[in-house]
Amino acid sequence: MKVKIGAFLGGAVFGIGLAIAGMTQPAKIVGFFDFFGSWDPSLAFVMLGAIVVYTPVYRWAIRTWQHPVWAPAFSLPTRKDIDGRLIAGSAIFGVGWGLGGYCPGPAFTSVGAGSQEALTFGLAMLVGVGAYQLFMRIRENRTGGPADPQAAAMIDG
Amino acid sequence: MIGIAAAGLLMFHGRIAGISGIAGGIFRREPGDISWRVMFLVGLFAAGLGWGYFFPQDYLVEIKRSTLALIVAGLTVGVGTQLGSGCTSGHGVCGIGRLSKRSTVATVSFMITAAITVFVVNEVLGGSI
C-alpha cells in the first residue's frame, strides 16, 4: 500500500513541478527549440535544476544504501553501449516533441488539467507505446525468449 | 520539484523516474510490476487535475496544431521513446544525472530533431500545421 501511495505522491510532485516549470505549455517547448526565432532558454534551466537536485542524491544513495527503502534492490539501467535503436528512437521522439510540444510527462498531467490537445496527443502516444510493446512481445514469443535478454533492466528511463 | 520527485522514486522505489519507461512497463504486464507504474501516472494526472483547477494558465496551448498533427506527434513520441528507451525525464534528467553516456547521446539526438522540427514548422510552414 505504501509503495502505491509513494508512487502516487511521486507522480503528483513530479506533475506539479512540470506545470510550475512551464513544461506543460507547448508554446514554451516550441519557444525553447526556436533558435531561429524568439528563443526562450528557460527550459534549459528546468532540466539543469532537476539534474542538480537529482545527481548528488543518486550518487549518495547508490553508494551508501544497500537497497531502496521499499524494494530489495535498485532497478537501474545496465546497458552501456550506444546502438542505432537508441539514436533512431530518440530522433523519432524529438520529431514528435517538436511537432506536438508535449513529451510524455506533461502529456499525462495536461490531460488531467482537461486539455483537449493533450488528450488527442496522449491517446495517440499510448497507441504508439502499446503497439511497440505488443510488437516486441510477439517477436519475443516467436523467437522463444526475450529479444533483449534483460529487457526490463535495460530500459534507460 | 522534478528533481525531488525523481530522487524520491529512486530512494524509496529504487526506480528511474522516466515517464515513457514507466508507461511502457505497464504494457509488458509483468506480475507485481504494474501497480506502482499506474499509481505514478495517476499522480501525474491528479497533479494536472488539481493544479489546473487553480492555475489553468499553466496548461495553455498557444501553438496552432491540427488534430492530425497532434496524432502524428503522439504516435512518434510513443514509438520513439520505446525504441530509444527513454524520454526527457528518463534520459534528459535521470540519465544525464547518472552521467550515462547512452542517455547523453539520446538527449542530444532528440534535442537536435526537435529543433529541426520546430524550425521547419515555424520558419518553413509559418507556425501552424
Question: Which residues from chain B sit within 8 angstroms of residue A150, using beta carbons?
Answer: none
| The pLDDT of residue A155 | 63
Distance from CA of A7 to the nearest CA of B (A): 5
Domain extent listing, chain A: 2-154
State how far the Cα of B80 lies from the Cα of B110, in Å rounded to an integer. 9
pLDDT digits (tens, 9 = 90+) for A18-63: 999 999 999 999 999 998 888 999 999 999 999 999 999 999 999 9
pLDDT digits (tens, 9 = 90+) for B24-75: 999 988 888 899 999 999 999 999 999 999 999 999 898 999 999 999 999 9
User: Would the pLDDT of A154 be above 80?
Assistant: no
Mean pLDDT value across chain B = 94
Which triple of cell numbers denotes residue B8? 524520491
Of A24, A114, A137, the CB nearest to B58: A24
pTM value is 0.91
State how far the Cα of A103 lies from the Cα of B56, in Å rounded to an integer. 19
Question: Which residues from chain A sit within 8 angstroms of residue B126, using beta carbons?
Answer: none
What are the CA-CA distances from residue B97 to residues A39, A50, A130, B7 (Å)?
25, 9, 28, 10
Instruction: Check if B31 contacts A (Cβ < 8 Å).
Output: no
Question: Which residues from chain B sit within 8 angstroms of residue A14, using beta carbons?
Answer: 1-2, 5-6, 17, 40, 43-44, 47, 89
State how far the Cα of B13 lies from the Cα of B5, in Å rounded to an integer. 11
State how far the Cα of B19 lies from the Cα of B6, in Å rounded to an integer. 10
